[in-house]
Each structure stands twice: as C-alpha cells, then as structure tokens.
Structure 1
Amino acid sequence: MEDEDVCIPNSFVKNPWVVNNIYRLKVSYINSPSEFWIVTKDQELGKFHGDLNSFYSRNKSYLKADFRNINLEGNCVVYTGECYCRANLLNVSSSVKNQKSLDAFLIDYGSTIRVTSNDVYFLTKEMYSVPQFAVKAALKGLRPSESSTWSPAAVDTFTKLVQHKVLLGQLREIDSVYQTLYLDLFNYNDDYEHTVSISRRNKRQSEKIIQLTSFHDFGVVVSPHSTLTFCNGVITSSDLMNYDLEEILENMKAKPRSNSN
C-alpha cells in the first residue's frame, strides 16, 4: 500500500504546539470529552478533501488495491460510501469469499469506520506529502464524576456544545507519549478576550499597527495603551526640597507664551 519508509507526516509532531497559545479549531470526531479529534486547518482540509475526491472519482479504476496485497497499518485511500478519505488500515474484521471487512482509521478526521477490501485504493505520492489534519485532544482537568467512563448523556451534551462550530482552544498541556493536546475550549463568538501588548520602534510602525482589524483568522481591536504610551520619569533636585508639592506642580503646568515687543 505504500513505499518502504514513506508515511504521511504526523501533525502532532510536525506542528510547533505552544502551551497557553490559542488556536482556532473545529472538532472533527468525538469519543468523549476525554478523547476527541480536532482540526486547526479546516479550510485547507476542505480544499484538500475536494481535490482528493475529484482525483479518485476520475482515476479509481487505476488505483484500486488488490485485497491479497493489502498491508494492514499502511496508508491508503478508502471509499466510505459517500466520499474518499485517507486512512490507516487497522485490522481485518471478517472475510467472506473474496472480500475482507476492514477497520479503517480516517487520519484527517479521527473516526474509525468499516470498509470492504473493494473500497481500498492506493495512495498516490502527492497525497503522502500533506500532513494528516486531525489531532487527538482532551478537555483539561475534566473527568467523569461517578465512574471511569463518560455516560452517554455527558458525551451527547459535549457533542451538542462543540459539534459543527468554530471554536477557540487554549492549549494547557501537551502529552507527547499519547500524542494528545489538553485544551480549554471557548466559542469563537464569545466575548473571550486575549490582550497582547506590542512595542514599536518608530511612529510609522505605530501608525500601521493601529490600523489592523484582523490577525491571521482572528478579528482584533488595536488601541494605544492607557499608560505605556506616555513617558514617565523621576525628577531629582536638592533645590526642590524646600518647596511644597502643590507649588512644584503649579509651576510645571504649561504656560502661554507672551509676545515681547
């Protein structure tokens, strides 16, 4: 199914994840609040998925895999009954006559489906170069309260809260062993604010920054800092020791210039 030592790049390893950073994302598949799959590049996935389906719809007869040579755990493309998706084959569930029933993990979405060996296709070289889109995630700090597993009602509630929505996820922890991102999730349209202070080198930079209305996929509001835009200092002089503070402040006020004849 694939060339030796060739595999689709792993997004968990490839992406430079940073704790406390906020990522725009969609949840692509849910097992529970402790195990779900996210996609941070959903627009790129949509385009890639469209191109993949267009290509395999035209060329499926040339790329069909021989079930006798199917390599378990290898990268491939499977037909789900509705569309073509990249997948890893996990195991053979059953075998009837000349067909095998296979479990396939859809690497760009995080779900596992069952397909027949007639629905398995070779993966082209170009399809190997695009990293998988789905990454495993979990809610940070949440566990089932009464058992070791989440109840169907809890999973259903979580699904209704996050499914088919654009979300913001703040990365709280990275589990490199199980390749899982632990997140706090927020609705994209909620009044969740993240403030960043930006220093600038000159007036021209300030004028450009103040005009920004978006940064990457986020809408932003740029305004001068309420205090850091002013120069503060300390005046030290022994001559001022005998003067009251009110008198010093009064004499520091700007005075109108007089015209002398």
Structure 2
Amino acid sequence: KYGSRDKYQILTCFDKCNFKQGQSFEARVTQIYDPTKFWIVSKFRELEVFQKYLFRFYYLNSSNYKIPHDKIAIDLYCMCFIENAYYRGVIVGFPIRHHDAEQEVQVFLIDYGMLKIIDINNIYYISEECLRVPQFVVRASLAGIRPLNDHWTTQDVDRFYDLVTDKIIKVNVIDIDCKRKILKVFINIKDDNSMISVQETLLTENYAAYIRDKEKTVKTIQTLGFKSPYLLQGGVALINSLNRTKFSLLLKHIVKSEKEELFTQEELVKLSESLKLDETNLQLLIQSIAYIFKQSSKVILKPTVLQEQLVEHLKFNPEKAEDFVKLWTEETNQVFDLKNSHNLENISWELNIQTASTLCNKEQHLNTRLQMGLVSVDGKEKENVILELDEEELLHLYNVLENVQSKLDNI
C-alpha cells in the first residue's frame, strides 16, 4: 500500500517554493506554538480546493484505503479523519494509553503544521495521487525578536494569535534557515486602510524584546535616525532582491529627484510591473531607500565606515552597499568639499579673567580662548582657528561635544 516514508517522500513546501530572501507574499497562519515558532500557508486558496477534493474522494473511497492496525507505524504517511474532514499527515508517535482507552496515534498534519491525537480507526492510506501533491505548510519565525524573559508567556502567544489568526497576512522573508527549513519573516497585517507591523506591535506593547545579538544593529539604525528597525529590515530585504542595475537606477532617481512626489502614478505602475512588486512593497522599497539616504546624509561618516554599517548591521548586499556609498559620496562632496577639509592636529587654550572695567570696578568676566591647529588632508597646509567663548558659549560647546560623544559610543 501507499504511504511509507522510506519509499516515498512528499515534497515539502520549503523545497517546492524555493523561497528567496526579500521575497514577499500573502499567507495565512495555520498553527502557532509561539511568535518564533509557527506555520504558514502561502497557497491557502489552493489548499481549500485540495481539502474539498480530499473530502469527496475519501467519502466515496475510504473503505479501500483502510490501514490494518498491525501496519500502523511511525513515519507512515496517512490520511486522518477528524472534525468531519480529511487531512494528510505523518504518524510521529503513540500516546500513553490506559487499558480502557481506545488505541490512538500522534499525527503531524503536513498541510497545517498541527499535531493531533487520532483514533487508529480513523487512519487511512494516502492515495498515490495525493502523495504527489507537495505539502502546503512551512514553518516560520518572527525575525529579530525574543521573549521579554526566558520564555514566551501565555499572554505573549495570545496577543500574537489575536493579531494574525483568521487574517490574510503580508509576509516579507528577511532570512532563511535552510538547514531547519524555517523562514524568518517580517509580517504586516491590514487594519482599515493602513498596514500594521506585527513585530512593532509586540515590541511597543511589551510582549517582546529585541534579540540581544541584534542590539548593535538597532543602535546603528537609531544612530542614523531610523525609528522602525524591523520595517527597515523589510525594506532592505527588498533592496537586496533587486537586480543591481535596477537598484542603481532607482537609487539615482530617488536621490536626484527635486520633486516632492518622487514618482508619478504612471511611473509607479510601470515600476511595479518592472520590479514585480505589489503597491505595498513598492512603497516600502522606495521609502526605505529615500529614508536611509536622507538619514545617512545627516551624519558625518567615512565612506568605508558607512559601507561597513550597511553590510554588517543593516544586512545590505555588498554590491548594493557599494553602489549606495558611491552615490552618497558624490552627493556629500557637493555639500562638503572634502578636498579642502582639514584634520585637527592640536588644540590649546587659556582662561582670561577680567576683574574690573570703567563701568564696574568689581565685576568679573570669564573668557576662554581656544586655538585649534588644523592641517589639510594632504598635509601641505596648516592654519589656526581661534575661538573666544564666554561661560555660556563654552557650556553650549561642551554639551554639543558630549552629545557627539554619546552618538559615537552607540555606533
């Protein structure tokens, strides 16, 4: 009979769909263990049709596929009848039974990610045709978040359940664990006319925290002024999925554009067709590129440092990071003439106290004189810049430098 896993393997959804980093698609969540362990189905409409076929076929032919009790074994593919429907599964174990209990088996439903305990009288062989249909479900994990404490609480899981259950979700693949066949994803859900990030909701409502090994990434993002790290990660995943030439052209258009609206509606339609992105992901892509460039232009960084941060912490593809920094350098040079820039070689200071004047012979005035020795980048020119600061101006300078140091410490 059909169904033995050592003779036949039903192709997994992970292998069939060949998911890519940066890919986006609609899906439904079918089973939740916690926010970092759940199962999703991308072809949920096809699954509904398939389930109707299973019911009709086994309603008429189930007696021909009955499995003898002595043939039931672990790793056997089977068809299960539960809750007035038929489901494909694989037998994974036998629960501990009392003497008066019916004989049961533990079955993992391969199209839903669920583990069920089923009476052996409701177990059937899978038909040859159904063995050829790939599994529908794939395991997923919310990228970049962890429990607030050591484990997910019931409240954490319930909140995640409320956010995604019975809804069509928008999935962005951030990373892929090929060994364990798990998609690390960013999820959006539609609320009225806007899209809500599931990660951001869990973080904001204190149901989750950033993963510790991501803290430097988050600090880097915050240093550049980004408010939504995981929304940005979704945008970066889309950037990485682009052809390099198309990314370079899109980047130049966004940066060089002087219009408030970066693209006309007609241009957006053409761009959507060219990049094969829906409206939501196209907007996320455009806004991410514009936002990263804008925020990067607000900080003073060496090009090599910016490129390292884009690759190591924002997970840019190296080629995309190179193109980004090249254009960033060109644009920055137009604002700051780097050829005429200077390095600080030395600094000296003196404190002057004026104890009397013609107006008041007892009044004291503190005055600080700073002399900064500057040398040109090529080392050929030197000059001194002198600043005279009163107490209030000196305090302001001190606070500015403290703020700069704080930013540097966070990088």
CA distance in 1 between partners of 2:281 and 2:23 (Å): 18
State the SS of the aligned residue for 2:70. helix
Which structure 2 residues correspond to residues 152-231 of structure 1 after superposition, within 5 A? 152-188=154-190, 190-191=194-195
The Cα of 1:146 is off from its aligned counterpart by 1.1
The amino acid of 1:2's aligned partner reads G
Which structure 2 residues correspond to residues 62-77 of structure 1 after superposition, within 5 A? 62-77=64-79
Partner of residue 104, structure 1:
107
- Contact preservation (8 Å) 1:67, 1:99: no
Partner of residue 3, structure 2:
2
Which residues of structure 1 form unaligned runs of 5+?
200-205, 226-261
CA distance in 2 between partners of 1:92 and 1:50 (Å): 29
Structure 1's 217 and 165: CA in aligned 2 closer, same or farther, altered over 3 A?
farther
The Cα of 1:34 is off from its aligned counterpart by 0.8
**Structure with the higher fraction of residues in helix conformation:** 2
Partner of residue 92, structure 2:
90
CA distance in 1 between partners of 2:128 and 2:70 (Å): 21
Which structure 2 residues correspond to residues 31-70 of structure 1 after superposition, within 5 A? 31-70=33-72
CA distance in 1 between partners of 2:179 and 2:278 (Å): 31
The partner residue of 1:129 within 129, 132, 149 is 132
- Contact preservation (8 Å) 1:99, 1:118: no
C-alpha distance after superposition, 1:161-219 (max 9, x if no partner): 000100111101111121110000001463489898799xxxxxx99x75x99x99956
The amino acid of 1:114's aligned partner reads I
**Aligned pair 1:113/2:111, yes or no?**
no
Kindly report structure 1 stretches of 4+ aligned residues shifted beyond 4 Å. Answer: 95-99, 191-199, 215-222
The Cα of 1:55 is off from its aligned counterpart by 0.6
CA distance in 2 between partners of 1:123 and 1:18 (Å): 31
Partner of residue 17, structure 1:
19
C-alpha distance after superposition, 1:111-168 (max 9, x if no partner): 1010011010010000011100000000001111111x20000000000000010011
Q: CA RMSD in A?
A: 3.2
**Structure with larger RCO (C-alpha < 8 A, sep 6+):** 1
Structure 1's 221 and 39: CA in aligned 2 closer, same or farther, altered over 3 A?
closer
Structure 1's 60 and 19: CA in aligned 2 closer, same or farther, altered over 3 A?
same
Larger radius of gyration: 2
TM normalised by structure 2 equals: 0.47
CA distance in 2 between partners of 1:41 and 1:128 (Å): 17
The Cα of 1:70 is off from its aligned counterpart by 1.0
The Cα of 1:71 is off from its aligned counterpart by 2.5
Structure 1's 99 and 182: CA in aligned 2 closer, same or farther, altered over 3 A?
same
State the SS of the aligned residue for 2:94. strand
Partner of residue 225, structure 2:
none
State the SS of the aligned residue for 1:93. coil
- Contact preservation (8 Å) 1:32, 1:150: yes
CA distance in 2 between partners of 1:136 and 1:170 (Å): 14
- Contact preservation (8 Å) 2:29, 2:165: yes
- Contact preservation (8 Å) 1:104, 1:112: yes
Structure 1's 59 and 20: CA in aligned 2 closer, same or farther, altered over 3 A?
same
The amino acid of 2:141's aligned partner reads A
Percent identity of paired positions between Structure 1 and Structure 2 = 26
- Contact preservation (8 Å) 2:3, 2:131: no
The Cα of 1:15 is off from its aligned counterpart by 1.5
CA distance in 1 between partners of 2:85 and 2:279 (Å): 34
State the SS of the aligned residue for 1:57. helix
The Cα of 1:49 is off from its aligned counterpart by 0.7
Partner of residue 252, structure 1:
none
TM normalised by structure 1 equals: 0.72
